[in-house]
Structure 1
Amino acid sequence: MTLLALSFTLVFVFITMFVSYWKKLDLERSIAISCIRAAVQLLAIGYVLHYVFETDHIGFIVAIIGVMIAVASWNAAKRGKGMSGVFWRIALTIASMEAFMMLFLLGLGLIEPTPQYIIPLSGMTIGNAMVVAGLFTTSVRRELASSRGEIETLLALGASTGQALQGALKRAVKFSLIPTIDSLKTVGLVQLPGMMTGMIIAGADPVEAVRYQILILFSHAASAAMTSMLLSMLYPKLLMTRDLRVRQLPED
């Protein structure tokens, strides 16, 4: 693809910005900044990966994955305004999911131990866990506000913190997994996932591309569920005060 052909895609951005201006949505600046950031970040990582793939040094791979985890944790933690310690809980969860998935895929020989496989798959795993963590944190905040009376009543009746928060955390887990479950239900019928599409465009056999995509889908579905469930075990102390009262969190 030439740079001229790529530049034509800016038409979609300009149309979106025009509609935002026309409807007075005030999204033009956000759209422009987001698109510029995305282009710069992708071009930068393209050059970085080109160098890493050539050197094939384990230190560079670990550094890139570490940066991915830190940025993903920071982005998801922004949803937890007023929840002290939320960043480290999310970082620990995402790092655990990344380590588990890589050990599983490499241990069973499902992927080759090269940067070309490890870094892209790590990015997908970490990004998926970031989305789930953000949705879970958002849902927890809403559940805490709407279920405060229910939680405090259960505590007054002698329930433990875990028992009192169980309903709210259970609903938050379900909410955070809605995109993952809906995606599994409609894949192949509504959407063709990016990895499969990329392999087909690159000339790979469609059946082989589907096999890799199934591997990614199943592993990401498992990591998403485990991310949400692990956070539900790490969050209770963030939601209650030391004297067992529901913490008052600031509004978004």
Structure 2
Amino acid sequence: MTNVSVDNLSLVLIFTLVLVAMGISQKEKLGLTKDIAMAVLRTVVQLILVGYVLQFIFQVSNVFLSLAMVLVILYNASSQANKRNPNPNKKQLYPFLALLVSTGLTLGILVASGAIQFIPSQVIPISGMLASNAMAAVGLSYRSMHRLFTDNRQQVLEKLSLGASVKLASQDILRESIRTGMQPTIDSAKTVGLVSLPGMMSGLIFAGVDPVHAIRYQIMVMFMLLSATSLAAVIASYFAYRTYFTSKAQLDFE
């Protein structure tokens, strides 16, 4: 099995590429220099802290502690997804429930089928992978929904005036929002192996696992991501579209 080691010198040399990105931003006046610097700082600090936390959790190997960590991941993911929602009437409970159901159901099936074991070193990384992709899908759905409600405001009002229900008046918007949220994961599944060698497969190959065996794990990952993002986009969108209306079925999102 191949040993992979990243020393401090390697990190310093790779960091020069980040400096190149910051230099380009500065030269072209993109206004991203501070964002890149902050992203680098947060990446280093957050990963170091999480590394020590995970080391402790893995050593303790407690079920409730593992579930608590999963809930922390889901809460943070739902918070980020909620921030991407331009609707002033948004509620964080909705993306949290969407991520909880989609991640929990997918994770449950993986454990029940024996694909993974319910141990911290497997449950927590998989939960993070599911939550991050579901978060992105929900965020895209929210942005798409707000744009569509803004662009099609008059059409929605006309449908309501003709007696259509809130759901019927929003049906096309709802479908397009869900489609937008799911599309990146679907596109990724179409090109996996041909354009990219994703994280799970690359990690196993780095660890010395036969690529043919690594493929099976990557197929499992793509299936679970498709499942989680689809469920999250659907659940979050069905919750969210109602926040664009008052209790009297009047359009209100400004």
- Residue range with higher mean Cα deviation, 118-127 or 97-106: 97-106
Structure 1 residue 40, shift from structure 2 partner: 1.1
The answer on whether the counterparts of 1:80 and 1:86 sit within 8 Å (CA) in structure 2 is: no
**8 Å Cα contact 1:83/1:238 also seen in 2:** no
User: In the alignment, which residue of structure 2 is the partner of 1:39?
Assistant: 44
- In the alignment, is residue 147 of structure 1 matched against residue 152 of structure 2? yes
Amino acid paired to 2:218: Q
Q: Which blocks of at least 5 consecutive residues in structure 1 are unaligned?
A: none
Q: Which residue of 2 aligns with 1:27?
A: 32
Match of 1:93 among 98, 108, 111: 98
Does the CA contact (< 8 Å) of 2:90 and 2:240 recur in 1?
no
For 1:104, the equivalent position in structure 2 comes to: 109
Pairs aligned (count): 249
User: In the alignment, which of 194, 199, 205 is matched to residue 204 of structure 2?
Assistant: 199
Q: Normalization by structure 1: what TM-score? A: 0.95
Which runs of at least 4 in structure 1 moved beyond 4 Å after TM superposition? none
Partner of 2:128: 123
Where do 5+ consecutive residues of structure 2 fail to align?
1-5
% identical aligned pairs: 33
The CA deviation string for residues 16-75 of structure 1, in whole angstroms up to 9 with x for no partner, is 111111011111011000111011111111111111111111122112111111111111
Return the offset for 1:84: 3.0
Alignment of 1:40-59 (within 5 A): 40-59=45-64
Measured in 1, the distance between the counterparts of 2:177 and 2:102 equals: 19
The equivalent of 1:209 in structure 2 is 214
Question: What displacement does 1:85 show?
Answer: 4.5
**Which one-letter code corresponds to 2:235 in the other structure?**
L
What TM-score, normalized by structure 2, do the two folds share? Answer: 0.95
Higher relative contact order (CA 8 A, sep 6+): 2
Contact residue 83 and residue 239 of structure 1 kept, 8 A:
no
Give the whole-Å Cα distance in 1 for the aligned partners of 2:210 and 2:53.
29
Q: Determine if the alignment matches structure 1 residue 235 to structure 2 residue 240.
A: yes
Given candidates 188, 202, 212, the residue that maps to 1:183 is 188
